[in-house]
Amino acid sequence: MNTDEVISFAKRRGFFWQTAEIYGGLSGIYDYGHIGTLLKRNFENIWLSFFVNINENYYLIDCSNILPERSLISSGHTAHFNDMIVSCSKCHAHFRADQLISDKKIEVSEGADSSTIDEIIKKYKIVCTVCKSPLSMAKPFNLMFDLYLGPEKSDKAYLRPETAQDVYLNFAREFNILRKKLPAGLAIIGKAYRNEISPRQGLYRLRELIQAELQIFFNPDSWDVDYKNVADRPLTILFYNSDETECIPVKNLIEEHAIPSFYAYHLAIIDIFYKEVLKIPDDKFRFHEKGGDEKAFYNRIHMDIEVDIESLGGFREVGGVHYRGDYDLTSHAKGSMQDLSVSVGDKKIIPHVLELSFGVDRTLWMLLDLFYKKEEERTILKIPGYLSPYNAAILPLQNDLNGESEKIFRRLNPLFRVFYDTGGSIGRRYARMDEIGTPFCITVDYETVDKQSSNYNTVTVRYRDDKKQIRIPTTDIADFIRKNIVFNPSIFMPYTLPSDE
RNA sequence: GCGGAUGUAGUGUAGUCUGGUUAUCACUCAGGCUUGCCAAGCCUGAAACUCGGGUUCAAAUCCCGACGUCCGCACCA
């Protein structure tokens, strides 16, 4: 698959396409159609039940996309997301002004405005490092979208560049309501906005993107994570400054690589999520440690979650595991002049943060890329059944069976996502369902309605992946779907959880 | 943002160089016939020149601009 094939499939089958496409579209901004929305919500719900519902002190919150300027000054985003850029007047190469200037060992304050920078460039005769031509005037380059609120448009705000900031801003209140227990987790699934210069490759680099993030607040002195259930689980990691991936058990990562247990443990949880829940093949998944310039300055440990995505040309980032220390709460405490410390025994501490961050759009792209399979006579989206847009399809073998099949459909429709189709031949209907990943087709045939038949009041269930059929009583359909479709995180989790079974 | 390429039904395309019939073909989709389990067949139908300006008797075709897409560069705290 290449990007065009993924996009064409997505458009044809109702997954996603560009926003306002009748006006020519908007670069880096996409809409999800009805099939894509079902897939996205299934993914989000599974993510939630896997990462959030598994700890009684982790919760989902839902916050504004608009944040006041002051909060993003404190977080460092205005300084680091708003760079002054100069470009070469001749070869159009772009440079970050602060880098050019500090390369000349000249001091410049971080918030220097364009005229200050122009003066410095003129005074020290700084030219293009590529072709030595004169440089243009400095222009601010904003990766954040700014907004001006109120009738006079006097209050400056931004669309949030990451959902994480909302969590930090809500931490103090939530921590109190949650009765002051650590570790505490706050998750957000929501939109974030970045004014990317060059959004490309479908859903990979977007200007409006969906993040699913869990911020875990903990006491760095005493977070004893019991990792014995995952101690031997091998993790594939590409370490910083290394060319080769290594396969290393969790316990060795902790003992030999000085990775804290809380961090290694969550790598294992994520590894389970991708390989066992999302069914990513082992050789297409890895963690990639970032260091040096690739790592944000506040991250103490930073590993990207990478999946080998053919249409994007190899391993690409779909998420990240960031040990952010106390950077965020400390910055906001300082900027807001609020005390964001918490009491642990007779000590006051600023909790540390472990951030588990997932790009939802990228994940959906990845699923289409990885699971869209062309076989000899058909195409199948082989995603796990609990992710499928539809749980099942109800089909009459022939259209004179519509009465009975429609009755079954109406009974199941309030309980599940089921699709009813009478158009074309039975084979064509199976093919339609295969292509959007519907795991089961339930077919009403003449025996279903034949009182003389031993198969009276039974239907056939046809499996998507191997086309095999079984026969089950009509009254068992709901149970069958429930058993095969409903996502139960406890079967994957290394925690001891009460089982539903 | 720069440079190059490019934009035709829902999807993929022919036609563009060299302006001139009712814009090609396939799949898809809808209706019908047929069909007793895997995209079958037959009939009928719907459906497109990205947008705006210009040149011309005449523009999908040539020119300019906008928007989108792709590749490279740059960017991606």
SS (H, E, C) A174-198: HHHHCCCCCCEEEEEEEEEECCCCC
Q: Give the pLDDT confidence of A91-129 residue by residue, as tens digits.
A: 666 777 777 777 777 766 655 677 777 788 788 878 776
Cβ neighbours for A79, distance < 8 A, ≥ 6 positions apart? A73, A110, A111
pLDDT of residue A243: 87
Could you tell me the two tokens for A160? Answer: 């949030």
pLDDT of residue A6: 93
Let me know whether A358 and A461 are in one domain. Answer: no
Let me know whether A336 and A225 are in one domain. Answer: yes
Angle, CA of A313, A319 and A320, to the nearest 5°: 120
Q: Are strands A392-396 and A418-420 parallel, antiparallel or unpaired?
A: parallel
Q: Give the pLDDT confidence of A440-450 residue by residue, as tens digits.
A: 999 999 999 99
Proportion of chain A above pLDDT 90, given as a percent: 71
The predicted model gives A329-356 an average pLDDT of 96
Q: A477: domain CATH number?
A: 3.40.50.800
Residue with CA nearest B27 C1'?
A12
Q: Give the pLDDT confidence of A7-39 residue by residue, as tens digits.
A: 999 999 999 999 988 888 888 999 999 999 999
How many structural domains does chain A have? 3
Q: Are strands A458-463 and A30-32 parallel, antiparallel or unpaired?
A: unpaired
Q: Does position A501 have pLDDT exceeding 60, yes or no?
A: no
Specify the length of chain A in residues. 501
Distance A4 CA to B14 C1' (A): 20
Q: Give the pLDDT confidence of A238-260 residue by residue, as tens digits.
A: 999 888 999 999 999 999 999 99
Which residue range is the domain that position A290 belongs to?
3-65+160-371
Distance A365 CA to B60 C1' (A): 34
Band of the pLDDT at A401, cuts 50, 70, 90? very high
Let me know whether A128 and A253 are in one domain. Answer: no
Could you tell me the two tokens for A356? Answer: 């588990």
Distance A425 CA to B40 C1' (A): 9
Q: Does position A295 have pLDDT exceeding 90, yes or no?
A: no
Q: A194: domain CATH number?
A: 3.30.930.10
Residue A44 lies in a domain: yes
Nucleotides of chain B in contact with protein CB (under 7 A) are: 1-2, 7, 10-12, 28-31, 34-40, 50-51, 66-77
pLDDT of residue A498: 47
Residue A151 lies in a domain: no
Let me know whether A310 and A203 are in one domain. Answer: yes
pLDDT of residue A223: 83
Let me know whether A348 and A448 are in one domain. Answer: no
Residue A291 lies in a domain: yes
Distance A173 CA to B42 C1' (A): 70
Let me know whether A264 and A406 are in one domain. Answer: no
Q: Which ipTM did the prediction report? A: 0.92
Let me know whether A324 and A296 are in one domain. Answer: yes
Let me know whether A287 and A396 are in one domain. Answer: no
Let me know whether A19 and A123 are in one domain. Answer: no
